[in-house]
């Protein structure tokens, strides 16, 4: 009996540790700052153990580099970013990264006389001044200048990925340019690719790179109509393209769902370079969602891995289907199934998870009868989060819906949506929500039957941290203590350095930075 009692105590203790609040936000010296009128913090670009760097914009659209101490959270400097000109032509801001202790600014200059557009990279110091000379790293000529340069930092913050392509309607071997640079702007590789999609209309909907030397592309292909008079919708096709940097080979693989059509796709890569592709499925000619698609591509075997015929996909259960027409997602009838695939994450136990979010967007006009002018307002809603898990056997375990409805207008959804990260074998979501909903979440009431809306940024939002464990269990916590409970977060402005996270927080026109680590306590 005693043995049983102590075993039970041990189980309860472990469960309590797993479900206790996993973080405590430290605001350092609690330095609070006032945001100027028509000023806004627009980007948190990175941090290390010494500094946090952010970009602010003023009422004249001037970009400002701000530096904060990573321990005290006190502002260290605030300086306008100088965008260099070339041959008398003013450059335009493209990106700014902070990696390996270096600030790297990307700009572009379009010369309409010569009909060319050039991408430049340059180092800047903590005072936002250019160090040395700008380096041209990409160029477009003639009619190609209509496309954009795409520059992003790798997920592990170890390299910079640049891609762009020559424009086309039906593909005729137009070039795709793919480049990777290190933190010293040293070139890791620079290739011009011709894709094996001749005479097809397509769009590359996602790029991924891997440090083992792979570039992955997801292509969405629009098939030709066989019957030109038919008005029936044509379902798009998908292909996975894999470029091997070492062998200089590119291969294409069909991505198909047996018995279903694919509505959208997203991919992620694990440490070994294998690809997990998730998507949403419908019946042919229908818009109603039927389930979640998943396939894993084995990079060594060069084929899709096998899965159980009944568990490889997640088919929505009968009791889950009414949730796809709940009041939160049906406000815009034409956007009921507008679930956006956003993240593929990997747990320490070998599971992969996909996260999607329901979104609404619409514009209303308000005419003024006196001035005869019309004011336009953009409305945004970020609703329920759906998260689903796939195990090491390549079978889908579970799906969970987290009720949410963040409403705002004319703010680009800045305070809405979520930030997701992984700690060991569970997922942590950070977002603003009505505090009443935390009690419903922890009572496992996930159908949203007693749900309260969250109006952002200043009315009913509090910051939450929500843990989703490997078995699908969900528990939520207030992100801040009672003293700071009125602050909301900007999900896109959460930076990570090592094991430390740095959130930007705001209350009305006041803002400050904090830090936290995630741990079992």
Residue 238 sits at φ, ψ, to 5 deg, of -135, 145
Quick one: average pLDDT of 397-404?
94
For the chain, how big is the Rg over CA atoms in Å? 25
Supply the pLDDT for residue 452: 86
CA distance 229 to 149: 38
Supply the pLDDT for residue 346: 97
CA distance 375 to 271: 50
Supply the pLDDT for residue 109: 95
In a domain, residue 498? The reply is no
Tally Cβ neighbours within 10 Å of residue 262. 19
Does pLDDT of 19 surpass 80?
no
Tally Cβ neighbours within 10 Å of residue 129. 12
Supply the pLDDT for residue 98: 95
* Three-class secondary structure of residue 512 per DSSP: strand
In a domain, residue 181? The reply is yes
Give the chain's mean pLDDT. 90
> pLDDT grade, residue 16 (50/70/90)?
very low
Quick one: average pLDDT of 129-158?
92
Does pLDDT of 331 surpass 50?
yes
Supply the pLDDT for residue 520: 62
- Residue 246: exposure state from Cβ atoms within 10 A (0-12, 13-18, ≥19): exposed
Per-residue pLDDT tens over the stretch 253-273: 999 998 999 999 999 999 999
* Three-class secondary structure of residue 361 per DSSP: strand
> pLDDT grade, residue 169 (50/70/90)?
very high
Quick one: average pLDDT of 119-136?
94
Supply the pLDDT for residue 231: 61
Dihedral sign for Cα 81, 95, 376, 383, please: negative
Does pLDDT of 78 surpass 80?
yes
Q: Which helix (H) or strand (E) holds 441?
A: helix 436-442
In a domain, residue 226? The reply is no
Quick one: average pLDDT of 63-90?
95
Contacts 24+ apart (CB under 8 A), 54-63: 54/493, 54/504, 55/81, 55/96, 63/93
Residue 226 sits at φ, ψ, to 5 deg, of -75, -40
CA distance 293 to 280: 6
Per-residue pLDDT tens over the stretch 267-318: 999 999 999 999 999 998 889 999 999 999 999 999 999 998 889 999 999 9
Contacts 24+ apart (CB under 8 A), 411-416: 411/380, 411/456, 411/457, 412/378, 412/380, 413/380, 413/382, 414/457, 414/490, 414/492, 415/456, 415/457, 415/461, 415/488, 415/489, 415/490, 415/491, 415/506, 416/380, 416/381, 416/382, 416/456, 416/491
Q: Which helix (H) or strand (E) holds 436?
A: helix 436-442
Tally Cβ neighbours within 10 Å of residue 471. 10
Provide the domain limits for residue 125: 81-194
Strand runs (DSSP E) across 26-156, as ranges?
A: 33-34, 40-47, 51-57, 63-69, 75-80, 85-86, 89-90, 92-99, 102-111, 116-124, 130-141, 150-153
> 432, 474, 477, 430: which is closest to 453 by C-alpha?
432
**How many domains, the chain?**
1
Does pLDDT of 495 surpass 80?
yes
Is 81:124 a contact under the CB 8 Å cutoff? yes
Does pLDDT of 3 surpass 60?
no
In a domain, residue 5? The reply is no
Q: Which of 2-6, 195-199, 447-451, 481-485 has the lowest mean pLDDT?
A: 2-6
Supply the pLDDT for residue 228: 60
Does pLDDT of 77 surpass 70?
yes
> pLDDT grade, residue 11 (50/70/90)?
very low
Supply the pLDDT for residue 455: 86
Supply the pLDDT for residue 156: 84
CA distance 45 to 56: 11
Does pLDDT of 8 surpass 60?
no
Does pLDDT of 244 surpass 70?
yes
CA distance 403 to 149: 37
Query: Which range among 6-10, 332-336, 453-457 has the greatest average pLDDT?
Result: 332-336
Express as a percent the part of the chain with pLDDT over 70. 94
In a domain, residue 291? The reply is no
Quick one: average pLDDT of 66-72?
96
């Amino acid at each position: 009996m005693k043995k049983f009692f102590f075993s039970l105590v041990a189980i309860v203790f472990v469960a309590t540790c797993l479900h206790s609040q996993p973080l405590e936000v430290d605001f350092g010296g609690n330095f609070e700052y006032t945001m100027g009128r028509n000023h806004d913090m627009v980007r948190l670009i990175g941090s290390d153990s010494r500094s946090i760097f952010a970009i602010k914009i003023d009422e004249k659209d001037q970009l400002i580099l701000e530096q904060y101490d990573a321990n005290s959270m006190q502002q260290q400097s605030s300086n306008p970013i100088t965008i260099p000109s070339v041959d008398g032509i003013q450059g335009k801001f493209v990106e700014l990264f902070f990696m390996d202790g270096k600030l790297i600014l990307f700009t572009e200059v379009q010369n309409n006389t010569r009909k060319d557009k050039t991408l430049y990279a340059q180092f800047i110091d903590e005072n936002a001044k250019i160090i040395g000379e700008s380096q041209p790293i990409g160029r477009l000529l003639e009619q190609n200048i209509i496309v954009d340069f795409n520059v992003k930092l790798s997920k592990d913050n170890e390299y910079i990925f640049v891609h762009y392509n020559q424009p086309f309607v039906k593909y005729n071997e137009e070039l795709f340019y793919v480049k990777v640079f290190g933190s010293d702007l040293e070139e890791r590789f620079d290739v011009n690719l011709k894709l094996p999609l001749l005479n097809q209309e397509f769009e590359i909907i996602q790029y991924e790179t891997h440090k083992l030397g792979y570039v992955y592309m997801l292509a969405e292909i629009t098939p030709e109509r066989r019957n030109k008079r038919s008005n029936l919708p044509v379902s798009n096709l998908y292909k996975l393209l894999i470029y091997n940097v070492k062998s200089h080979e590119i291969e294409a693989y069909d991505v198909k769902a047996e018995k279903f059509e694919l509505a959208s796709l997203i991919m992620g890569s694990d440490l070994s370079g294998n690809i997990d592709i998730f998507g949403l499925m419908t019946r042919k000619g229908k818009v109603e969602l039927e389930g979640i698609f998943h396939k894993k591509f084995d990079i060594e075997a060069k084929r899709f891995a096998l899965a159980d015929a009944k568990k490889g996909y997640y088919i929505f259960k009968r009791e889950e289907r009414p949730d796809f027409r709940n009041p939160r997602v049906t406000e815009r009838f034409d956007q009921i199934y507008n679930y956006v695939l956003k993240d593929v994450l990997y747990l320490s136990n070998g599971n992969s998870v996909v996260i999607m979010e329901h979104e609404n967007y619409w514009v209303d006009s308000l005419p003024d009868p006196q001035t005869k002018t019309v004011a336009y307002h953009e409305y945004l809603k970020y609703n329920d989060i759906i998260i689903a898990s796939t195990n090491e056997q390549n079978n889908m375990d579970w799906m969970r819906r987290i009720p949410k409805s963040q409403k705002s207008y004319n703010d680009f959804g800045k305070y809405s949506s979520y930030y997701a990260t992984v700690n060991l074998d569970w997922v942590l979501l950070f977002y603003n929500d009505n505090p009443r909903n935390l009690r419903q979440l922890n009572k496992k009431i996930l159908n949203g039957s007693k749900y309260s809306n969250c109006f952002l940024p200043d009315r009913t939002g509090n910051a939450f941290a929500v843990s989703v464990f490997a078995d699908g269990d969900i528990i939520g916590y207030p992100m801040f203590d009672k003293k700071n409970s009125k602050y909301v977060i900007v999900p896109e402005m959460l930076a990570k350095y090592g094991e430390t996270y740095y959130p930007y927080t705001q209350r009305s026109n006041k803002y400050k930075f904090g830090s936290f680590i995630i741990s079992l306590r």
